[in-house]
Amino acid sequence: MADITTPVGAPEEVVTKALVREIDLAAFGAQGTLALITIDNGLDHTRPNTLGPKSLQELDNAITAAENSSAVAIAITGKPFIFAAGADLSGLPFVTEKSQSLAIGKFGHDVFKRLGRSKKATFAFINGLALGGGLEVGLHCNYRTMASTALTALPECFLGIVPGWGGATILPKLIGPERAVQVIILNALNNNTMMKAKEAQGLGVVDAVYEPADFLERSVAFAARIISGKEQIDRQDYTADVAAWDKAIATGKAAIAKKYGGADIEAPRRALELIYAARTNTLDQGFDAEDEILANLVMGNPLRSSLYAFNLIQKKRKKVEGAPKPALARKVTKVGVVGAGLMASQLALLIVRNLKVPVVMTDLDQARVDKGVAWVHAEIAKLVEKKRLNEEAGRRLSLLVTGSVDQSVFAGADFIIEAVFEELSIKQKLFKDLEAIIAPECVLATNTSSLSVEKMGEGLQHPERVVGFHFFNPVAVMPLLEVARTSKTDDATTATAINVGKELKKTMIICKDAPGFVVNRLLTRFMGEVTDAMDEGTPADVADNALRPLGFPMSPFELFGLVGPGVALHVSKTLNANLGPRYRVSPTVQRLVDKGVKTFYTKDESGKLIPNPEALALVEKGTKASTGEGVKLRALKALAEEARMMLDEGVVATAAEIDLCMLMGAGWPMHLGGILPYLDREGISEVVCGQRFHPHGVASLPA
C-alpha cells in the first residue's frame, strides 16, 4: 500500500472493497472474458462507496488482479444504487501538512490512470450515484455506460476544491471546454446541480444509457460489441479551436462573478485554469497541476469552512435539534391556507405536491380566491407540461386544491397556516374566528416573519396549538423553515409541525418565539448597519459594495429590491419596537415607501443594473461618511453582537443552528462556512463578545 497515514484525529476510514470476477463474453458475441471489478463498502445504500487511502489500495489490488488475469477487458461497477461518491473527505479537515494532501492526490491519480493506460479495453458501468472521484474513475476508463436512474456530478468547486483526480484535465479533452465548464463550474455553483443519465450522454460524458433492470447485462453486451469491433465510439479532438476555449473560460468567469458578487474565490478560479491548461497539457502534466492546486486548497480555510457548512446542512436535514418525539405528531389529512395571494398560493402548491391531501384556500372575496386557486392549478399544469408529473397525477393534485370565502370549509382540517397581511390585530381576530370552527387538535400555524406568535394566541381556548411556521421566498426553492415555539406551544403541536416540515422536504430549526426569529433578526441588523452608514453620509455605492469581498450573490441594496422596501420597513419597525434603537428605522427607507420607489437599482437596455436616480434623490444627507472597510467591519461586529444576544436569550440552543439559518435562509456563502466560524476566524467574536462562538473550532467536527 502507498505510504499514506490517516491524519491524527480523523475518523476511521470506511473501507470500500474491490472484488473481481470474470464474465464469459461468448454469450454476448465476443471471445474471452471480462474482468468485472465491483466496489462495495458492505453497507446499505444510505452510506455510499467512498475512496480513502485503504479503499484506493483495494482498487489498485483489484486492477492488478484483472491485469494479470486472462480477461481481454476490465470493467468497474458499484454496489446496488451506488457507483461511488468520490473521495472520503472526512479526514481532510484533520490534514495538517501539505505533503499529506499531495500524497493522497498523487495516489488517486496513480491508481485511476492504470485504467486509462491498460493494454486491455476498460469500461465503467456507472450503475448509480457517481460524484467527484466516483465520476473521475469512470473518466479514466476508455468507455462508460450509465443507468437511466443514476445521477452524476463534479461538485468540487461547490466545496472549495477542484476535481483533483483527473476530472479537470480529462473532461475538457473528452467533451470540449464549453461543456466541461458547464459540468465543473456552472453545475457546481448552481447548488451542486447533478446531471441525469440522458443529459450526461448528451454532453458526451457517457457513451450509452440503459434501464436499471438489465443494466449490467446490457453494459456487458456493449463492452462485447466494442471488443469485437461491432461498435465503435468516435472521439472528437477539441484542442485546435482556441477561440472555443477562450469563450468557455469567459462563460465560467461570468458565472463565478455572478455567484460571488465579483469576489475572487480561489477554487472555481483554479478550476478554470486547469480546464484551460488541458488544451495543451499532456495528461500527466494536467494530473501534476491538479495535485498541486488541490493540495494548496486543502490547506486553506475555504475547503474546511465548506466542509463544516456541508456537513452541518446534511446533519440538520436528518435531525432537528430539540424536536419532540415523532410519535407525538398528529396525522394531517386536510390542510387550510388562509390567504390566496402569491405567498399563500406558493404554500398551497408546496403542500399539495408533498402531502397529497386536500388543501383549501380562503380570502376576503371570491375574485382573490379564484385567482389563488387558478395560480396553483396553472403551476401544476406547467409541471405536467415539463413532464415532472404525469397527466393523471396532475389531475389528482388539481382536484385536491379548492377555495372559498367561507371559513367553515376549514372544519375537519388538521393543520391551518395563515399568510395574511402582517398586522397583529388581523391575525388575532383570524385565529379567534377559526377556533369556533375547527377541532381542538387542529394546529394553527403562522407564516409571520416578525410578529409575536404568542400574542396571536392570546385569548384562545387552546393557545398550545399555535406555532410559527416561517418560510422564505420563493417557498419552493428556499430550503429553510423556522419553527417558532411560544411558551404555550405543546409538544404534540411542535411534533406535528416538524413532521409536516419533513414531508415538505425542508431543513428546520426550532426557535423561541422572539422578534424576527433567527434569519430576519440577523439580516435586518446586518442590512440596517449598511443603510445607517449611507444615511450618515457614506456614498450609496460605497456602502452597498462594502461586503462584496465576502462573496454574497447580491449586494444588500440588490437584496433590498428583491424583498421590497415595504417589507423591510415593516420588519425594521417591528424589531425597533421590540428590541430597541439598535434597529434604527432608516429615514431613507421610509421615504422610499412613502414615494412608492421600489428599488435602489434599475436595469439599462442591456439588462445591467444601474443606480436608480429616484432612490438616490431620497437618500438622507448625512455628513459622517465611512470607508467601505469601515462599513464591512461595522456590519460584521453587529452580527456578532446580535448572535451573542440570541444565544444568551435562548432563541436557539446552539451556535451551529445560527450558522445553519444563515446558510440556508440568508445565502451566507458556503466557502465562508457558517457565519459564526467566520467571525471567530476574523477575530471579531472575541473583540465584540470576549469569546469565540465555537471555542474548539469547527474543522474537527465529524461528517
Centroid of chain to Cα 519: 17
What CA–CA distance (Å, rounded) separates 150 from 624? 58
Residue spans of alpha helices (H) in 132-196: 133-140, 156-159, 167-175, 177-181, 187-189
47 in Cβ contact with 96 (< 8 Å) = no
Q: Which residue has the cell 458501468?
A: 125
**Marked catalytic residue, from 136, 199, 379, 657:** 136
What CA–CA distance (Å, rounded) separates 678 from 674? 6
61 CB contacts (<8 Å, ≥6 apart)? 18
Determine whether 13 is an active site residue: no
CA dihedral 254, 256, 259, 260 (to 10 degrees): -120
Backbone angles phi, psi at 601, to 5 degrees: -125, 150
Phi-psi region of 166 (alpha: psi -120 to 50; beta: other; left: phi over 0): left
Using alpha carbons, select from 309, 321, 157, 317 the residue that is nearest to residue 698: 309
How are beta strands 143-147 and 335-338 bridged, if at all?
Answer: unpaired
Backbone angles phi, psi at 526, to 5 degrees: -60, -50
Burial 89-121 (b: 16+ CB within 10 A, else e): bbbbbbbeeeebbbbbbbbbbebbbbbeebebb
Q: Cα 567–262–308 angle (5° rounding)?
A: 80
What is the grid cell recorded at 327? 410519535
580 in Cβ contact with 521 (< 8 Å) = no
101 in Cβ contact with 307 (< 8 Å) = no
107 in Cβ contact with 172 (< 8 Å) = no
Q: Please report which helix (H) or strand (E) contains residue 153, including its range.
A: strand 151-153
Distances in whole angstroms, Cα of residue 697 to Cα of each of 303, 350, 679: 14, 37, 11
**Marked catalytic residue, from 13, 58, 156, 266:** 156
Backbone angles phi, psi at 660, to 5 degrees: -60, -45
Determine whether 558 is an active site residue: no
Using alpha carbons, select from 75, 13, 77 the residue that is nearest to residue 47: 13
What CA–CA distance (Å, rounded) separates 54 from 46? 21
Backbone angles phi, psi at 579, to 5 degrees: -115, -10
Using alpha carbons, select from 283, 288, 235, 274 the residue that is nearest to residue 115: 283
251 in Cβ contact with 178 (< 8 Å) = yes
Q: How far apart are the first and last CA of the chain?
A: 25
Residues in the chain: 703
Residues acting as catalytic residues: 136, 156
